[in-house]
Structure 1
Amino acid sequence: MPGSRLTKWLAAVPMAALACATIYPLVFTANVAMKDRREYTLDRFAPAGALRWDNIARAWTSVGMSRYFLNSVVVVVCSVAVLLLLGSMAGFALGRLRFRGSSAVFLGILAALFVPFQVIMVPLARIMAGTGLIDTYPGLVLAYVAQFLPFTVFLMTSFYAAVPPEIVDAARVDGTTLYGVYWRIMLPLGAPALLSVGVLNALFCWNDVLISLLLMPSAEHRTLMVGVTALRGQYSADIPTFAAGVLIAAVPVLLVYLFLQRQIADGVTAGSTKG
């Protein structure tokens, strides 16, 4: 069938071009990270003559990327843990329980999704400074939780709303408390959605620059992405070292996407259909 084959080619060619445009910056960065300064100056687009790991080792040790990497891991793990706990509890309450004002609460959370961080950044910075949370891990974790909790609650509410109500009713008839229903039934049932939302929130927190730059001004507490941004000015004459720092920051995100891409896609559509 020539018509169907032509249709497949018309769809495949733009998608292939988009894939190449997406992959090329990472390949170019990896290639530059393997060059020395002289080789990069002579021809920045030519393939590296050899696999040199000196730039990556220098960026990891001398430049301080190892410290920035550890800061990001601590902040991301703590933020995602708090987001999943609060998001699953709120999602269960709003998706399965009916109480006065539940619809208004859900609409308020939904409205919070449309508030850009730039609108609240100045009041947030003043509150954090007034409470002594500037340049601390708890302060940045609280900021991430406040920023990404509406998204988490929205997805978990949509997922739990699609769970058949007979499951909750049967557990309540058996004498299970609301806490028991949440902990023993709804939390295990929501594991796929929690994994999806956790991966998405981890990517959001890992890639953030603005919130971390605002609340973590000292070099000691910089997260990885802020450290990479600082490298651009510090090593403007040593592009291979800067490319090595970018590569260190990009590889974890790339690995997470490669191994959990199905969960990321499911998280976007969690609770959109019933059954």
Structure 2
Amino acid sequence: MPRRRRSAWVAAVPMGLLALATIYPLLFTTNVAMKTRREYILDRFSLAESVRGENIVTAWTSVGMGRYFANSVVVVTFAVALLLLFGSMAGFALSQLRFRGSSALFLGCLAALFIPFQVIMVPLARVMADTGLIDTYPGLILAYVAQFLPFTIFLLTSYYRTVPAEIIDAARIDGNSVYGIYRRIMVPIGRPALLSVGILNALFCWNDVLIALLMMPSAEHRTLMVGVTSLRGQYSADIPTFASGVLVAAVPVLAIYLFLQRQIADGVTAGSTKG
């Protein structure tokens, strides 16, 4: 066997095993969601006798996954919109505007990335409770903005620093104000980074359990991931229904990864290269 071909096999085999280990849980969950309780009890590893969607319909309607799904969509949409708005403004200011303390502010945002949420969760809950924002959509949205804004500012600042200063100077000569430069120059130039960071933040907010569980204690306002977590105890004897809830929560995330994986990779490396 040629040396180059042997090297390809050495890399392909571990990667294939890793891909199989990643795909198998999803296939197993899908198979369980298609089973009846009797089929699962008799043999949990066998293939489902037929493709049926009764369990998914039950999870969506009777269990309340449809309501949890809608809650997640509302919260994630507004949280990502605010993160992109504030993050892009701060990224533009910290990367292109010269003012006293800009470096200290950027270092402060960078330092905030290293603070675990568990450290601030008790003070955050007390502040939210004192302001009446517990168990409300605005409260959870603001909590997500506070948690993920340092990450957003860091990536967008790094990206906007790659914009040549000559473009900003030319916009000032043309009579644009700071707001005009931001709206007409920085937002269009930053669309690739904004899309990538928006996707990453949407995934972070969608997959979150801890913040949503802290801020939304009532069943009516639960997000999808919190609802799936609660199913484990409520439907411990009905594993196919629980698997259906997991499948409902996993499909949107999987779709985002499949169709927008290039943008996600670009978001991770945003600002790491010049140009």
- TM-score over 0.5 for the pair: yes
Report SS of the residue matched to 2:45. coil
Report SS of the residue matched to 1:176. coil
The corresponding residue for 1:94 is: 94
170-179 or 28-37, which deviates more: 170-179
Query: What is the root-mean-square deviation in Å for CA atoms of aligned residues?
Result: 0.6
* Distance (whole Å) between structure 1 residues aligned to residue 209 and residue 202 of structure 2: 14
Identity among equivalent pairs (%):
78
TM-score under structure 1 length normalisation: 0.99
* Distance (whole Å) between structure 2 residues aligned to residue 192 and residue 174 of structure 1: 25
Query: 1:106 is aligned with what amino acid?
Result: F
Query: 1:113 is aligned with what amino acid?
Result: L
1:9-59 CA-partner distances (Å, limit 9, x unpaired): 111110110000001000000000000000000110111110010000000
The corresponding residue for 1:262 is: 262
The corresponding residue for 1:81 is: 81
Aligned length: 275
Please state if 1:112 is matched with 2:112.
yes
* Distance (whole Å) between structure 1 residues aligned to residue 99 and residue 17 of structure 2: 51
* Distance (whole Å) between structure 2 residues aligned to residue 98 and residue 20 of structure 1: 51
* Distance (whole Å) between structure 2 residues aligned to residue 132 and residue 63 of structure 1: 28
Runs of 4+ in 1 over 4 A off after TM superposition: none
1:69-115 CA-partner distances (Å, limit 9, x unpaired): 00000000000000000000000000111110000000000000000
* Distance (whole Å) between structure 2 residues aligned to residue 231 and residue 142 of structure 1: 26
Please state if 1:224 is matched with 2:224.
yes
* Distance (whole Å) between structure 2 residues aligned to residue 232 and residue 27 of structure 1: 19
Report SS of the residue matched to 1:241. helix
1:134-186 CA-partner distances (Å, limit 9, x unpaired): 00000000000000000000000000000111110111111111110000011
* Distance (whole Å) between structure 2 residues aligned to residue 23 and residue 101 of structure 1: 48
Which blocks of at least 5 consecutive residues in structure 1 are unaligned? none
The corresponding residue for 1:239 is: 239
Report SS of the residue matched to 1:219. coil
* Distance (whole Å) between structure 2 residues aligned to residue 47 and residue 98 of structure 1: 63
The corresponding residue for 2:135 is: 135
Report SS of the residue matched to 2:12. helix
